[in-house]
Chain A
Amino acid sequence: MKLILDHQTPAKIRNPKKHHHYSFKDFFQFEADKGTIVDWNDAQNILATEDFIIGLVEGLEEEVGEASAAIMYTIGCEWGQKDAFFFEKWFEKEFDRPVRQAGLMFLLETWWWPFTAQGWGRWEVDMSDRRQGFMFINLFDSALARTLGDVGKPVCHLYAGLFSGFFTEMVKKQLGCIEIQCYSMGETYCKFLLGGQERIDAASFWLNEGATAKDIEKRLRSGELK
């Protein structure tokens, strides 16, 4: 049986072009009789507990050991790529213009808002190094890190993959992403580096050597790996 997902809350019926629709009541439509939660963009949502997240991460680690980080990253990449297509569709429907005609920062904030509403955390994009071919994303309240707590290593591989997949699709250029600071390492927020693979590999090497996010930012900004 195919479910028809159609968000029909009073807020959307009254004003389907309303852009500030991210409050809990506006964004989600709970259909108890169908057992669905449909968001403003007609996507089906599920509720997951912190136990689910712990089970997913620890279960995967038990199955594949250290490769679990790469698997989570790959899952994130595929999710990000698919979401880029989904985003293009709903953006065009909501704003009556293609994504490529919108300002970049506006586009990115608009992309991330459903994630914020869904509990994936708030973000801040730092594009000041865009011309050098890399950028940073700060993530506050990562669902993975806040659930797993201080485990002494980065845990947000799913997010890194999500950013890589989405940005790769949007700019049509292969971009990698790595978490260089994580709430699960005792920091106050998570920080990701997005850029070409050689920079991501270098950051990964520096991280293993004990570099902090600040060290990595400094080395990249000073032109190492130009």
Chain B
Amino acid sequence: MLSQMQRLSFNVEGRYATDEELRFIPEYLKTYELRLQTYQKLQEIEQLVIKQLLEKIQAQDPSVLRSDTTDLTSKWKRDTLLVWRYSVAAVLMDDADTLRDRLLLWFETIVRAFNIQKACYTTYTGMQDVVKQHLTPQQYSLFFPILDLNRRSLGNGGQ
């Protein structure tokens, strides 16, 4: 939404916007109530999701949380929470572009530098399963594209 607003403001300088160019505004307003509800729900379940996701990974592939002899659990929590909060904001604002520009493009290179694409793939695939249990289908349909963007960006090459 913010990115689209900025683009609109840039594109219509010195002229009037077309109906086509303005279409995203009523579309956003139509989904605003659901976005707000989803945003509040995601805020409420944040710690629960992180906990359940951690348990799921520990059961499924504990190597994700280790590097040689180092326990990476607290780093994993910090990074997962960072991505989660940016993602939740992206749902409210309907703005995956900002999520990508401000976090994912950078984080993707750091993930590659540490060679942890597999860990990210496991994390962000698992996050989809965990979150799905807590949201209504409508709420999940709003959040899914964001979760999938995270999985594709950060887990790229980790399948």
Q: Hey, which bits of chain A sit against chain B, CB under 8 A?
A: 19-20, 22-24, 26, 103, 105-106, 108-109, 113
A38 to B54, CA, bound (A): 41
A24 to B97, CA, bound (A): 13
A26 contacts B102, C-beta separation under 8 Å: yes
Top 9 closest pairs, chain A to chain B, by CB: A105-B113, A23-B102, A106-B113, A109-B113, A20-B106, A109-B109, A23-B101, A20-B103, A22-B106
Q: Contacts A105-B114, A106-B114 given; indicate if A113 touches B102 (C-beta within 8 A).
A: no
Closest partner residue, chain A, to B103 (CB atom): A20
Contacts of A23 on B, CB cut-off 8 Å?
98, 101-102
Contacts of A103 on B, CB cut-off 8 Å?
113-114
The A-contacting residues of B in range 99-128, CB under 8 angstroms, are 101-103, 105-107, 109-110, 112-115
Most A CB contacts (10 A, CB to CB) among B105, B109, B115 go to: B109
Return B126 CB to nearest CB of chain A, in Å. 23
Contacts of B114 on A, CB cut-off 8 Å?
103, 105-106
Contacts of B98 on A, CB cut-off 8 Å?
23
A116 to B109, CA, bound (A): 11
A22 contacts B113, C-beta separation under 8 Å: no
B107 contacts A20, C-beta separation under 8 Å: yes
A20 contacts B102, C-beta separation under 8 Å: yes
B110 contacts A109, C-beta separation under 8 Å: yes
A120 to B114, CA, bound (A): 23
A sample of 16 inter-chain contacts (CB < 8 A) reads A19-B106, A20-B102, A20-B106, A22-B106, A23-B98, A23-B101, A24-B101, A103-B113, A105-B112, A105-B113, A105-B115, A106-B113, A106-B114, A108-B113, A109-B113, A113-B109
Q: Hey, which bits of chain B sit against chain A, CB under 8 A?
A: 98, 101-103, 105-107, 109-110, 112-115
Majority secondary structure of chain A interface residues (helix, strand, loop or mixed): helix
Contact of A113 among B101, B103, B106 (CB under 8 A): B106
Return A136 CB to nearest CB of chain B, in Å. 15
Contacts of A108 on B, CB cut-off 8 Å?
113
Contacts of B102 on A, CB cut-off 8 Å?
20, 23, 26
A175 to B68, CA, bound (A): 32
Contacts of B112 on A, CB cut-off 8 Å?
105, 109
Return A101 CB to nearest CB of chain B, in Å. 15
A22 to B112, CA, bound (A): 17
A223 to B98, CA, bound (A): 46
Contacts of A20 on B, CB cut-off 8 Å?
102-103, 106-107
Contacts of B105 on A, CB cut-off 8 Å?
22
A106 contacts B106, C-beta separation under 8 Å: no
A20 to B98, CA, bound (A): 12
A208 to B61, CA, bound (A): 51
A23 to B103, CA, bound (A): 8
A24 to B101, CA, bound (A): 8
A22 to B110, CA, bound (A): 13
A23-B98, A103-B114, A108-B113 given; name 14 further pairs at CB < 8 Å: A19-B106, A20-B102, A20-B103, A20-B107, A23-B102, A26-B102, A103-B113, A105-B112, A105-B114, A106-B110, A106-B114, A109-B110, A109-B113, A113-B109
Contacts of A109 on B, CB cut-off 8 Å?
109-110, 112-113
Return B70 CB to nearest CB of chain A, in Å. 12
A23 to B2, CA, bound (A): 14
